[in-house]
Amino acid sequence: MKSATIGTFWFARFTAAATLFVATATPAMAERTFKEITVSGTGFPFASVVMTLSGPPSMDIVEGPPDEGEYRTHMMYSENGDAMMEKPRARELGIPFDGTPGPFNAITDVAGVEVGHTTLIEGQGDIVVGEGPVRTGVTAILPRGRTYDPVFAGWYSLNGNGEMTGTTWVEESGFLEGPVMITNTHSVGVVRDAVVDWQHTYSLYDPIVADIFWALPVVAETYDGGLNDINGFHVTREHAFSALDGATSGTIEEGGVGGGTGMVCHGFKGGIGTASRQLTNEEGGYTVGALVQANYGNRQLLTIAGIPVGRNVEGYERIFKLETREPPGTGSIIVVIATDAPLLPHQLKRLARRVPLGIARMGGIGSNGSGDIFVAFSTANPGAANRFEISDLKMLPNDAITPLLLATVEAVEEAIANALIAGETMVGINGNTVFGLPHDQVRAILREHNRLIE
């Protein structure tokens, strides 16, 4: 079944003869005919898409929040599996970026890399710990798909108010031996344990003797407790397995999906974003891809295409019902970098250390409350982790690495922009509301500064 994420709606009407179904990450909801979907960017402070199921289904934009029922989800299907709507991405809005992207402009442009999401969206109203509302999930990045062939890797932390498990062994061994998982802060443990179980279940390991097996999974987090019942521990082993088993190459869903479901970026709805860069043949023809879980940043510092967009957007201030002592800019960003260039661990750490330059282009500063943690891996040198034989390796000369460093900066910048552009207004616990970045205002601001491609 094909899928598409519902994006920003303008003043428009949609009708179709096919039955429409909601798809969410919870099996109980997977085939429920949907009623309403909250959207942003219509020109209203808050808007809904209302589905009528009497006769041929129709969909209308109306002012104001939905009255009842499942009021927000992120995917829609027709009965025959055809995509009904697609979100625009930053480039499609006319936002200019340097560099040449790959075919998907995603981390999956690096051959072999697969990405999967499990998205949990249930309930509304006041928080009841253990019951909801739930706005969270899990994202899985598999360097070589569902095979065991460790990749060279390096990691870096700009500001350590966060967690990425397994990095001490990445640092010591130079290898990433399994997937990279991203979830919410209080679900790191269950996701880590699930990865161990998943690798053992599918024999994705190289035993030392017989079936002696150990793993130190890499699991990262950002905090979604402003919208999600984070202390309800809603992410389970099954959700992690679902993200891993559902990982695919090609197009990646962005915005409020997977681990990014309840995340906020520069005061607007954030989440998952991805982008890639393709080097010229003279530079080696290599690909660099980035995937971010963006949950950081001060609205006043948000910069797009070099223009101070955040301070010039009118309205769309987030609504939190309870007072917060959280200083502006508190949050985190996790970044995963992939490349097919033959880089060794110390060179991959150099790529990871360039990630902050891409974040800075968007207005990030690595604030005290931010967990800014990055990992980079290379899919080159397959078989390098052989336990018993000497491996012949390829290594890119350091004098040829600069284009990859630049590609990393550019891909990270665009990935964050894509996360923001894909972000849709979300109502979470206690009616807390974070608005999607208004596309029309972004375009108007860039146009005013002659920075819009039209």
In terms of domains, do 236 and 288 share one? yes
Residue 119 lies in a domain: yes
b/e code 19-56 from CB counts within 10 Å (16+ = b): ebbbbbbbeebeeeebbbbbbbbbeeebbbbbbeeeee
Residue 84 lies in a domain: no
CA distances (Å), origin 151, targets 75, 165, 201: 33, 17, 21
- What are phi and psi for residue 174, nearest 5 degrees? 85, 5
In terms of domains, do 183 and 208 share one? yes
Q: Note the pLDDT of residue 326.
A: 67
Residue 85 lies in a domain: no
Which residues, 6+ apart, have CB-to-CB distance to 271 below 8 Å?
A: 254, 255, 256, 257, 258, 260, 261, 263, 265, 293, 294, 295, 419, 422, 423
Cα torsion through 34, 36, 37, 41, rounded to 10: 150
In terms of domains, do 64 and 197 share one? no
Token pair recorded at residue 250? 């090609």
In terms of domains, do 346 and 310 share one? yes
Domain range for 311: 91-448
Token pair recorded at residue 81? 């599996």
In terms of domains, do 114 and 69 share one? no
In terms of domains, do 266 and 138 share one? yes
Residue 454 lies in a domain: no
Are the C-beta atoms of 108 and 250 separated by less than 8 Å? yes
In terms of domains, do 237 and 317 share one? yes
In terms of domains, do 47 and 101 share one? no
Q: What is the pLDDT of residues 26-53, one digit of tens each?
A: 333 222 223 333 333 333 333 334 333 3
Token pair recorded at residue 329? 């800019």
Q: Note the pLDDT of residue 325.
A: 66
Cα torsion through 340, 343, 347, 348, rounded to 10: 40
Q: Which residue among 13, 47, 78 closes a domain?
A: 78
Cα 214 to chain centroid distance, Å, stands at 28
The residues annotated as belonging to the active site are 332, 370, 372
If one counts the domains in the chain, the total is 2
In terms of domains, do 40 and 120 share one? no
Residue 86 lies in a domain: no
Which residues, 6+ apart, have CB-to-CB distance to 40 below 8 Å?
A: 8, 47, 269, 424, 425, 435, 436, 438
Q: Note the pLDDT of residue 323.
A: 64
Residue 134 lies in a domain: yes
Residue 53 lies in a domain: yes
Q: Note the pLDDT of residue 66.
A: 38
Q: Which residue among 78, 101, 134 closes a domain?
A: 78
> In the 8-state DSSP scheme, what is residue 227?
T
Q: Note the pLDDT of residue 3.
A: 30
**Tens digit of each residue's pLDDT, the chain (454 residues):** 223 333 322 222 222 222 222 222 233 322 222 333 333 333 333 333 433 333 333 444 444 433 333 223 333 333 334 444 568 999 999 999 999 999 999 999 999 999 999 999 999 999 999 999 999 999 999 999 999 999 999 999 999 999 999 999 999 999 999 999 999 999 999 999 999 999 999 999 998 887 788 999 999 999 999 999 999 999 999 999 999 999 999 999 999 999 999 999 999 999 999 999 999 999 999 999 999 999 999 999 999 999 999 999 999 999 998 766 667 667 899 999 999 999 999 999 999 999 999 999 999 999 999 999 999 999 999 999 998 899 999 999 999 999 999 999 999 999 999 999 999 999 999 999 999 999 999 999 999 999 999 9
Question: Residue 253 maps to which CATH number?
Answer: 3.60.70.12
Token pair recorded at residue 188? 């790191």
Residue 334 lies in a domain: yes
Token pair recorded at residue 273? 């974003």
Q: How far apart are CA 313 and CA 318, in angstroms?
A: 13
In terms of domains, do 263 and 302 share one? yes
Q: Which residue among 78, 105, 138 closes a domain?
A: 78
Q: Note the pLDDT of residue 324.
A: 64
Cis peptide before 133 (omega within 30 of 0): yes
